[in-house]
Amino acid sequence: MKQFDFRSMSFYQIWIRSFADGNGDGIGDLCGVYSKLDYIASLGVDGIWFSPIYPSPNADYGYDISDYRNIHPDYGTLEQFRQVLDRAHQLGLKVILDLVINHTSDMHPWFLESRKGKDNPYSDYYIWRDPKWKGKTRLPPNNWFSQFEGLAWEFCPERQQYYLHVFAKKQPDLNMDHPKVREEVKGIMRFWLEMGVDGFREDVITYISKHPQLPDGIPFLPAINGLPFYKDGPNLLSYLREFRAVALEYGALQIGEAPMTPVKTALTYLAGEDRVLDMMIQFDTMMADCFMTEYVHLPFSLPKLKRAFSRWQTALAGKAWNALYLENHDHPRVISRYGSERFWRESGTMLAAAYIFQQGTPFIYQGQEIGMTNIRLGSIDEYQDVATINAYHRFFRHQSVKKRLQRIHRSSRDSARTPMQWSSDTYAGFSAVKPWFAVNPNYPDINVQKEEEDEHSILNFYRKCLKLRKEIPALLRGEYREYRPLHRHLYLYERSFQSEVVLVVCSFSAKEQRWKLPKGFPEEKGDLILGNYPGKAISGRLKPYEVQVLRYHLPGRDS
């Protein structure tokens, strides 16, 4: 079946637990989603990506799945999901689900069976290894670390063996080398595709093929010791081909999450008609203020961010297609990172234009479109995320409580998981009762209702960006070119198609900046089609976090 045109589309990501509570129990759910579908459509997006909505013990909030063919009772029923799906389709929105198949929950029936012994049908569904012995001391099979919780191996007394978990202990890795496991994956894909789902966002899909020998890693950064032996592994391409065949029967979209995959490797999955993934969630652009993980802090560097943007823009040009994002449920809020809470509206709007007008399919994470910012909770006990809690207790254990909390405030994924701020009503209009997780106290100022009423709000700026992107061929299909890559405060890029050129000028500075048009752009010919300060833009100067989007007709460019 023919695939739909995902290149012209944009997506909205829902992390359901914090999106909208429809039945008044303090937890977001499908009823809540249903009631907000018109709002989502009003943004001008064309699809929704749902983070996991399946039954899960929530060791990693949905990314530990205990039943792949059902809906978490907190969120509703399969019937309610069908209603959401139908209504979304009526509104012209595609729906893609999260496919989490690197690991399951340790409460998944497969694992409950597998752990019982070496001779049941599920024994080889997971990655089991005998201990290593040093005299009488029992040691794990290798020195890998998990990304969330200490060593990557957990001993199971019943089997007298260790199982591998690259993430939390309650997320055992599946053994994808087992043909039956791959058949299970295909069965799960078909189940949802038959129902009418339009594709998948595939969770850490580049981790599913492990190095057959599971060799020791070189200790470097503890949390990723072992990564080279489970990332982009030897059979990955062939497994992805098998899944691709299923997706293509339905014309389904496949977006792969690929932490730390370099762009050259990415092209082996993304390029050409026989590609195995349509787009990739890369991590380069999330590293402009940190090293490898958000918990190793560095000062924000605009040149580093621009290098990441331009690396993916140029390497994929004409060969593959980018997924564009600045936020999702795994990263702190972008205004608090790359922008400025002080220049909240200015930086929130500037950041929108900085990425949406690049070549690719933009993803917008719930709350990003109204400029939600990081929460700063007073104690680690108020946090929920396994990675956050682990970082606090493990990596920073020698630092003072104050210092540790500061690091959590800056780095935690929970900052992006606070309830969506719908209005200035109690609990931000998210729920009638106390929500499952803290509401950001800034909700009276930052909320959908307030921003609906303000023409210059971040919300309406997102709408304008998405609309322009669709209207102007240069923004949708044009070539990308960056100017002044080394400038420490300005990001300048153009998109050009035939004689039409759109220049996007972004200031990442809290101070006024002077700038000059690049050669070949005659001042008098430019049309300011979007900006984030009222009134006429002053040429040659940018106010704090100002963005100017200028449109040119430059005959001569198309030759």
Say how far apart CA 475 and CA 464 lie, in whole Å.
13
Q: Which residue's entry shows tokens 């009631």?
A: 35
Within 13 A of 125's CA, how many CA atoms are on the CB side? 26
Return residues touching ligand GLC (CB under 6 A). Answer: 60, 63, 100, 167, 203-204, 257, 329-330
**Residue 152, by phi and psi: left (phi above 0), alpha (psi -120 to 50) or beta?**
alpha
Q: Are 361 and 278 in contact (CB under 8 A)?
A: no
- Least distance between Ca ion and beta carbon 21 (Å): 4
Q: Which residue's entry shows tokens 């997320």?
A: 171
Task: Exactly one of 203, 232, 289, 385 is catalytic; name it.
Answer: 203
Tokens read off for 346:
């200015």
Which of Ca ion, ligand GLC, none has residue 204 at its interface (CB below 5 to 8 Å by kind)?
A: ligand GLC
Q: Which residue's entry shows tokens 């303000």?
A: 454
Instruction: Kindly tell me the burial class for residue 291, based on how many C-beta atoms sit within 10 Å of its own C-beta (0-12, 13-18, 19 or more).
Output: exposed
Q: Are 507 and 543 in contact (CB under 8 A)?
A: yes
φ, ψ dihedrals at 340, nearest 5° = -150, 125
Beta strands in 15-72, from DSSP E residues, in sequence order: 47-50
Say how far apart CA 100 and CA 526 lie, in whole Å.
47
Which of Ca ion, ligand GLC, none has residue 202 at its interface (CB below 5 to 8 Å by kind)?
A: none
- Least distance between ligand GLC and beta carbon 257 (Å): 6
- Least distance between Ca ion and beta carbon 507 (Å): 42
Judged by CB, which is closer to ligand GLC: 204, or 364? 204
Which of Ca ion, ligand GLC, none has residue 21 at its interface (CB below 5 to 8 Å by kind)?
A: Ca ion
Judged by CB, which is closer to ligand GLC: 53, or 204? 204
Which of ligand GLC, Ca ion, none has residue 284 at its interface (CB below 5 to 8 Å by kind)?
A: none
Judged by CB, which is closer to ligand GLC: 223, or 353? 223
What residue is closest to ligand GLC based on CB? 63
- Least distance between Ca ion and beta carbon 441 (Å): 22
- Least distance between ligand GLC and beta carbon 331 (Å): 10
Which of Ca ion, ligand GLC, none has residue 23 at its interface (CB below 5 to 8 Å by kind)?
A: Ca ion
Alpha-carbon dihedral angle through residues 284, 289, 292, 295, given to the nearest 10 degrees:
-140
Which of ligand GLC, Ca ion, none has residue 330 at its interface (CB below 5 to 8 Å by kind)?
A: ligand GLC
Task: Exactly one of 257, 414, 494, 546 is catalytic; name it.
Answer: 257
Q: Which residues have a Cβ under 8 Å from the Cβ of 79 and sit 6 or more positions away? A: none
Q: Is the dihedral of CA 506, 486, 517, 558 positive or negative?
A: negative
Tell me the residue length of the chain.
559
Tokens read off for 75:
């969120």
For the chain, how big is the Rg over CA atoms in Å?
Answer: 24
Buried b or exposed e, range 232-260, using 16+ CB within 10 angstroms = bbeebeebbeebbebbeebebbbbbbbbb
Which of ligand GLC, Ca ion, none has residue 29 at its interface (CB below 5 to 8 Å by kind)?
A: Ca ion
Q: Under DSSP, is residue 199 helix (H, G, I), strand (E, B) or coil?
A: strand
- Least distance between Ca ion and beta carbon 23 (Å): 4
Judged by CB, which is closer to Ca ion: 47, or 367? 367
Q: Are 226 and 145 in contact (CB under 8 A)?
A: yes
Which of Ca ion, ligand GLC, none has residue 314 at its interface (CB below 5 to 8 Å by kind)?
A: none
- Least distance between ligand GLC and beta carbon 347 (Å): 25
Tokens read off for 273:
């008609």
Active-site residue flag, 482: no
Judged by CB, which is closer to ligand GLC: 100, or 223? 100
Judged by CB under 5 A, the chain residues 8 through 37 that form the site for Ca ion are 21, 23, 25, 27, 29
Question: How many chain residues are in contact with Ca ion, going by CB under 5 A?
Answer: 5
Judged by CB, which is closer to Ca ion: 20, or 364? 20
Which residues on adjacent β-strands are paired with residue 493? 482, 504
Judged by CB, which is closer to ligand GLC: 207, or 443? 207
- Least distance between ligand GLC and beta carbon 167 (Å): 4
Judged by CB, which is closer to Ca ion: 44, or 419? 419
Which of Ca ion, ligand GLC, none has residue 25 at its interface (CB below 5 to 8 Å by kind)?
A: Ca ion
Active-site residue flag, 74: no
- Least distance between ligand GLC and beta carbon 146 (Å): 10
Judged by CB, which is closer to ligand GLC: 203, or 278? 203
Say how far apart CA 315 and CA 198 lie, in whole Å.
27
The three-state DSSP-derived secondary structure of 229-259 is: HCCCCCCHHHHHHHHHHHHHHCCCEEEEECC
Say how far apart CA 215 and CA 233 lie, in whole Å.
13
Tokens read off for 107:
């409460």
- Least distance between Ca ion and beta carbon 19 (Å): 10
Say how far apart CA 110 and CA 172 lie, in whole Å.
11
Judged by CB, which is closer to ligand GLC: 167, or 480? 167
- Residues taking part in catalysis: 203, 257
- Residues in contact with Ca ion by CB under 5 A are 21, 23, 25, 27, 29
